[in-house]
Structure 1
Amino acid sequence: MSPWLRPRWLVGHVLVGVVAVVFLRLGWWQWQHARQGNTLSYGYALQWPLFAAFGVFFWVKVVRERLSHADVRRQGGRPQAAVPSLGHSWRFERSDPDGAAPARMTPAAVTQTDAQDPQVAAYEDMLRWLNDDPRRHVSDYPGFQDR
């Protein structure tokens, strides 16, 4: 069975199809009014088919994305991020095993490119300083200047 024809997707297909047909019908209705002398209706007659096309386009894009993510998960991998990564990720870690202390975010890995950029390094240093004590504020960071 095609993934596009699974029962959970059929409701969405029908709904998008009905809405697209209604939008096209509204465009035709506006076109008839425009031909009777209502010039403002020409604009609406062009807009309704565009709304229908956008809805169908968006639905196809959503279904394809969901199905591709499901395929990647089925193969045991992680889906690609839509936004390119900055080269590092963050993870939560607890300093004590009992969980009494709050979890802290720490960098999991930093690329060589990030380590060479002094602005990125200074920003990450400030984040580490803030993460060491939850009571600290950005304005308390040494070298912080109000702008």
Structure 2
Amino acid sequence: MRRLWTPAWIARHVAMVVLVVGFLGMGWWQISRATAGNSLSWGYAVEWPIFAGFVVYVWWREVRLARRSAMEVDAPPVDLAAEPTPAATAGSRPAVRRPVRVPRLQSTGEAVEDTDLAAYNHYLSWLNANPGARPGDYPG
């Protein structure tokens, strides 16, 4: 809890309060304009409190993150070698799945040559062969 009262955090707390009060004040001002006949101000009257709520949400999330990281720093180190690693089950899937790339086949069974890909590969090989050249120097 002491970490939330450093000069940087005090500045964040003050900025949050100033922004929330300012945004709610702007919302109240838009309500007064809307009741005076400016129908466009009704949208802004709703928008400013949403901005204030967003500021409170971000501040709350950052406080939670700071408290969680403070608890992790204060916690004793965990011996990872002593903990058993969970075995992958037969039906489990990896966390990140990569797309499978399959070449398109013609009726003869040969892979189709992609002209754009071939041109790009030629450009890259030219850049590799000419390290000091600029892309505008490419002759193709």
- Whether the TM-score (by the shorter chain) exceeds 0.5 is yes
Q: 1:145 to 1:31 in 2, by over 3 A?
A: same
Percent sequence identity over aligned pairs: 34
Match of 1:56 in 2: 56
1:74 aligns with 2:74: yes
Q: Measure the CA separation in 2 of the matches of 1:33 and 1:10.
A: 34
Amino acid at match of 2:87: T
What is the Cα deviation at residue 119 of structure 1?
A: 6.6
Q: Measure the CA separation in 1 of the matches of 2:57 and 2:71.
A: 21
Q: Deviations over 1:70-92 (max 9, x none)?
A: 112211358xxxxxxxxxxxxxx
Q: Measure the CA separation in 2 of the matches of 1:44 and 1:36.
A: 14
Q: Measure the CA separation in 2 of the matches of 1:118 and 1:67.
A: 34
Q: 1:20 to 1:119 in 2, by over 3 A?
A: closer
When Rg is computed on C-alpha atoms for both structures, the one with the higher figure is: 2
Q: 1:44 to 1:118 in 2, by over 3 A?
A: closer
Figure out how many residues of one structure are paired with residues of the other and give that number: 96
The alignment partner of 1:112 has SS state of: coil
The alignment partner of 2:45 has SS state of: helix
Segments of structure 1 that go 5 or more residues without pairing to the other structure are 79-108, 125-137
Segments of structure 2 that go 5 or more residues without pairing to the other structure are 79-84, 105-140
- Root mean square deviation, CA, Å: 3.1
1:146 aligns with 2:122: no
Superposition misfits of 4+ residues, deviation over 6 angstroms: none
1:112 aligns with 2:88: yes
Q: 1:9 to 1:146 in 2, by over 3 A?
A: same
What is the Cα deviation at residue 118 of structure 1?
A: 8.2
Counterparts in 2 of 1:1-147, with a 5 A limit? 2-77=2-77, 111-113=87-89, 116-117=90-91, 120=94, 145-146=102-103
